[in-house]
Amino acid sequence: MNEDMPKGMITMSMELQNLNLIDLISERHVHLRSLINQLWNTSSDIHISNSEWFIMARIYKKQVTISYVAKHVDISRQATHKLIKNMESKGLVEISKAQHNNKDKCIQLTELGEECYERNKAIKATLEAKIIAAIGVEQAEHLMQVLKLNWGLEMDA
């Protein structure tokens, strides 16, 4: 073990040693999400859940229908509606009637919602810079290329 490595990194390293690829990816994702939430919560009074961030990412700079959101976030339709109502009560989104269909409603980020999304994007950019500094530019670029590949894991219909 490298003695120059920070204590937290040694602990994380030892915990990850016996994990398979899928669990490693999952652990890193959970850890990064947790860090992003901690950093957000120390800089903002507005609590935004991971699911709400996920919805915000799908609608950033767009006006889409709620049914579109439900289909593209892999969350039940009921849960999506509940999350959107909660986001509306925080002032993050606004809901309006769809022009082409009276049944459907459209959703878009408010000015506050866009500001929150952009601040969170800056937090992620800072973390990304730290990761790149830790693993190197070449390794980071390679990792991104690998993650973007089609791994051929789609389920057969």
pTM, entire model: 0.81
CA 72, 127, 113, 90 torsion: positive or negative?
Answer: positive
**Confidence at residue 11, expressed as pLDDT on a 0 to 100 scale:** 54
Domain segments of the chain as ranges: 7-145
Q: Quote the CA–CA distance of 110 and 119 in Å, as a whole number.
A: 14
**Confidence at residue 73, expressed as pLDDT on a 0 to 100 scale:** 86
- How high is the mean pLDDT in each 10-residue block of the chain (157 residues)? 49 74 92 94 93 94 90 88 96 89 87 97 96 96 95 77
- Identify the architecture of domain 7-145 in CATH: Orthogonal Bundle (1.10)
Enumerate the β-bridge partners of residue 105.
97
Place of tokens 């999952």: 26
